[in-house]
Amino acid sequence: MALKASTRAMEEWEEYFAQNPAPPGHSHHCGDMEAFCQRHVGHHPIALVTSGGTTVPLERNTVRFVDNFSAGTRGAASTEYFLQQGYAVIFIHATSPSLPSCVTSTPGSYWRPCRRGRAACCSSHHNTLARCIPSGVSTSRSRLGRLLWLTFTSLSDYLWLLRSATQCLQRLAPKALLYLAAAVSDFYIPQDEISEHKIQSESGPLTVRLQLVPKMLRPLVSVWGPELYVVSFKLETDEKKLIEKATAALRKYKHDLVIGNLLQTRRDEVTLVTERESSLLRLTEHQKAERIEIERLIVEEVCSRHRPERGHAIPLAKLC
């Protein structure tokens, strides 16, 4: 019997990956993630933490780009608290092209102090200065051995890493979770519309038409990592929209938890939205005086809900 060729139309997210090639060094990053997961399987639960804002280039030889706001604090601080909770962490974070590169002749990675009394992680391997992470970070060997950090700049770099990391962690389910704190662009310029060279100002004011990025949470939950515990963040600036939008995201993508936050108050309070309830997590005045970070409360809450030692219950909706 002759095999019938597949006539299935490509999903939008598949087209995105077909049109936007993997960034240089991607297979190397995949190898790092595979090795990291192999090392920790059976010993530690693993969290993937994404952090920082993606950029969308306006030119292929990029001089200008559109950025998503994020200082990277949520992801960096949360990483530290996941480590404290005994998780191994793949920390995927934005690197700013404006930061100086951190070149060291010493192989491997190390910690060193940087601005604002915080500590920065540097890696000769990735040759970049990473985002700051909270002071008090342990330099103990065991903790560093539980951290793998990889960097991205553009939206496309981020999505390639996200997909590969999710597929890698799926093999460790239910002992792995995704904690998606990166601020990811909803808009981009497709490859066939992007200017090759620097856009010239002689032609007058610039009009840019950005297309919608396919919603990647959909394949992430249903195809790449169906058995993973998935936490996404919803960022709004209008208080009236927050819960409604967070609930809508949860219903649409059928993952485990949406953490809603307002740009203005994100350091002090967040709302946890699940299928069953929504609950406010807010720092008390006493906690603020004690300099307790909201990320500590968030991560403790996420870990108690994930409960990797028992395996989290997969919502029925995910299995349908």
Interface residues with ligand 9Z3 (CB under 6 A) are 70-74, 180-181, 183-184, 217, 232-235, 261, 266
Q: Rounded CA gap, 299 and 194, in Å? A: 39
Q: Which is nearer to ligand 9Z3, 79 or 232 (CB)?
A: 232
Query: Between 37 and 235, whose beta carbon lies closer to ligand 9Z3?
Result: 235
Q: How far is the CB of 282 from ligand 9Z3 (least distance, A)?
A: 15
CB of 1 to ligand 9Z3, least distance (A): 44
What's the closest the beta carbon of residue 234 comes to ligand 9Z3, in angstroms?
5
Q: Closest Cα partner for 174 from 38, 318, 306?
A: 306
Shortest separation between residue 55's beta carbon and ligand 9Z3, angstroms: 13
Q: Give me the least distance between CB of 54 and ligand 9Z3, in Å please.
A: 9
Q: Which among 125, 100, 105 is positioned nearest to 115, based on CA atoms?
A: 100
Closest CA to 318 of 190, 212, 221: 221
Closest by CA to 53, choosing from 205, 222, 183, is 183
User: Which lies closer to ligand 9Z3 via its Cβ, residue 85 or residue 185?
Assistant: 185
- For residue 261, the cross-strand partners are 235
Nearer to ligand 9Z3, 59 or 301 (CB): 301
Q: Is 36 or 158 the residue whose CB approaches ligand 9Z3 more closely?
A: 158
Nearer to ligand 9Z3, 151 or 232 (CB): 232
Choose between 180 and 272: whose C-beta lies nearer to ligand 9Z3. 180
> At closest approach, how far in Å is the CB of 17 from ligand 9Z3?
18
Q: How far is the CB of 217 from ligand 9Z3 (least distance, A)?
A: 6
